[in-house]
Amino acid sequence: MLLVPALSYFSWRRKGLLLSSGTLLTLALFGASFGLVEAAVVVYLRAAAGVSGQYVSTTPELQAATYQEAAASLAHIPAGLRAVEGYREAATMVMLCTVALLAGARAKERWGGFLWVFAVWDIAYYTGLWATLRWPSSLKDYDVLFLIPVPWVAQVWFPVLVSALSLVAVAAASMKLKFEA
């Protein structure tokens, strides 16, 4: 996953991306607001499943969850709610792809728009979880990142780093055209 922003940037570096600052701002507003909505949905799902305290650290004295604890937390969520979570994740990807399709006329701008909106969404999601649950208490906490196609578990720093690198790659490729003009 760390290679995605780097490889994308290297494919864009010669000609840049035709994504205006207005388009990037609009995508960022969508991504941030949608990330906060997603965080609220996860809070509700955890509460409905009765697992809001399973591996969510709300006090500084608690240790970060382990990989096994994060993965095992899925077993505490009823199958019906896990299915809802899978549908939510699929719908999220469709929404992020759809808005990226609207962002640019060419495939490379659409891909850049997707990386940008996904990155902002992801960072806003973790910000929303921290604001509501005070979780993650550390970037070293483990999280179940996705359930599709199989559960992905990693420390929070990893998706945040990939998202930050994606933002840098898209911004640098988009600004390239401005500096050359």
Predicted TM-score (pTM) of the model is 0.86
Nearest to 145 by CA among 161, 133, 132: 161
Mind listing the pLDDT tens digit for each residue in 131-157? 998 889 899 999 888 888 888 899 999
Are 146 and 42 within 8 A, CB to CB? no
Q: What is the mean pLDDT of residues 43-63?
A: 56
Element (H, E) at 144: strand 142-146
Nearest to 89 by CA among 113, 125, 120, 55: 125
